Amino acid sequence: MLSLNKIARSSKVWKNNLIPSADILQKRNSTSYEHGLKYGDGGRNSFNGSIVTVFGATGFLGRYVVNRLARRGTQLIIPYRGVDDEVRNIRLMGDLGQIKFFNYNLRDYESLLKTMTHSSTVINLVGKNFDTRNFTMSDCIVTGAADLAKAAKESGVKRFIHVSALGAEGSSPSHYLRLKSRSERCVSDAFPGATIMRPAPMYGDEDSYFNRYAYFRNFPIGIPLAKGGWETRKRPVAVYDVARAIVLATHDPTTANKTYELYGPEEYYLHDIVKFIYRMIKRPCRIIPVPQSLYELAGYIGEFSPFDKRITKDFVIRQFLSDDVLEDAFTFEDLGITPVNVNDAALNILRRHRHYYHYSEIMKEEEFIKPIQQ
């Protein structure tokens, strides 16, 4: 009777004779260990030569960025704070060993350095919409961004990508947008050559934009909008288009020291966006025009909530600010990206808000949202 060792040896010889051997070049470290990992943009089981640290990966945009980076064979470092449950969905986005997780504290500079030791690129997606007892908006948006940029420079990181917001100006009526403007200056000072991304309000499966308005259907009197939404112009952008732009910038050194404004291809009145959302989910829509000062008062009261603040005064201000863009800014076009139109993408996001007997119905062309005529 043949022993198991003899069977294994004969099987190995037979396999080597049948399948030609391939020399695998190991580029991730200096050892002579060879394995089946492919080098190049070959998918999640490949390695394209980039090691990227993504801060804020557990957020709305972060999950899309991580998924797209992993699909291109990027080695990922994901710093997080809190419990492991917050990153459990991210674990499935990469091959075994492709994504590494580290606990960190935004105020602990040494922990920031530790997560960037071997990285070639750092992406900052950290943000906050309201103050909490642990971190203020300024702590996360300004001080945290400056520390990340400084740590990246000290660690020898080649690229730093910072996500800001469309309309980030020092004179903005929104405290959030003023902080975003300060963060851009701090990042550029600490890391010359950083890439700044300014996305418009983003929509997607888990967004707090289109879905927020859809949930207003439970509001008994209707949907309150300042001045009926007729004086607010918006350019919503799909979150996966923004994620794609960030990933392309990660692998394109020519994007260094540039600021990109990322917005949708069409401009709409907020009133028309809300009406479109309710046509899409096949529910009645009643818009109630209210004074913006009254809306801001409701937001101020909402800031005292002991739970997650669903509405704040600053959120109301941003909600009714128009999305103004700079004519000479870099955009999706400079990255070779054609952003998706709201009419083509929103149905897949909002279909879940329909009654079951309307679920499979498609949108008719006359129900599509019409852009503002220039």
**pLDDT tens string 204-224:** 999 999 999 999 988 888 899
Q: What is the pLDDT of residue 308?
A: 81
Query: Which sign does the torsion angle of CA 259, 264, 266, 267 carry?
Result: negative
Whether 51 has a pLDDT exceeding 60, the answer reads yes
Per-residue pLDDT, averaged over 7-19, amounts to 42
Residue 230, classed as helix, strand or coil, is coil
- Asked if residue 302 lies in contact with residue 267, where contact means CB atoms within 8 angstroms, the answer is no
Report residue 46's pLDDT band, with 50, 70 and 90 as the boundaries: confident
User: How far apart are alpha carbons 301 and 185 in whole angstroms?
Assistant: 32
Q: Give residue 327's pLDDT band: very low, low, confident or very high (50, 70, 90).
A: confident
Percent of the chain residues topping a pLDDT of 70: 89
Q: Is 287 helix (H, G, I), strand (E, B) or coil?
A: strand
Backbone phi, psi, residue 162, to 5°: -115, 130
Q: Is it the case that residue 177 has pLDDT exceeding 70?
A: yes
Comparing CA positions, the residue from 84, 75, 124 lying closest to residue 102 is: 84
Instruction: Give mean pLDDT, residues 243-250.
Output: 96
Q: What is the pLDDT of residue 39?
A: 59
d(CA 90, CA 67): 8
Q: Which residues contact 13 (CB under 8 A, 6 or more apart)?
A: none
Give the pLDDT score at 24.
31
Predicted confidence (pLDDT) per residue in 111-146, tens digit: 999 999 999 999 999 998 988 888 999 999 999 999
Reduced to 3 DSSP states, what percent helix, strand and coil does the chain have, rounded to the nearest 5?
40, 15, 45
Tell whether the model's pLDDT for residue 200 goes beyond 70.
yes
- Global confidence as pTM: 0.87
pLDDT band with cut points at 50, 70 and 90 for residue 352: very high
Asked if residue 287 lies in contact with residue 228, where contact means CB atoms within 8 angstroms, the answer is: yes
Q: What is the predicted pLDDT for the residue at 7?
A: 40
Find the mean pLDDT for residues 337-361: 92
Q: Where is average pLDDT lowest: 212-216, 250-254, 305-309?
A: 305-309
Mean pLDDT in residue range 153-166:
96
Q: Domain residues of the chain, as ranges? A: 39-199
Q: Assess whether pLDDT exceeds 50 at residue 1.
A: no
In the chain, what is the greatest distance between 2 CA atoms, to the nearest angstrom? Answer: 91
Find where tokens 């005064």 sit. Answer: 313
Per-residue pLDDT of 18-33, as tens digits, reads 333 333 333 434 343 3
- Given the candidates 3.30.830.10, 3.40.50.720, 3.20.20.70, 3.40.800.20, the CATH classification of the domain at 39-199 is 3.40.50.720
pLDDT at 42: 64
Output 248 or 40, whichever has higher pLDDT. 248
Return d(Cα 149, Cα 182) in angstroms, integer: 13
pLDDT of amino acid 210: 94
pLDDT of amino acid 374: 63
Q: What is the pLDDT of residue 221?
A: 87
126 vs 131: CA distance, rounded Å: 14
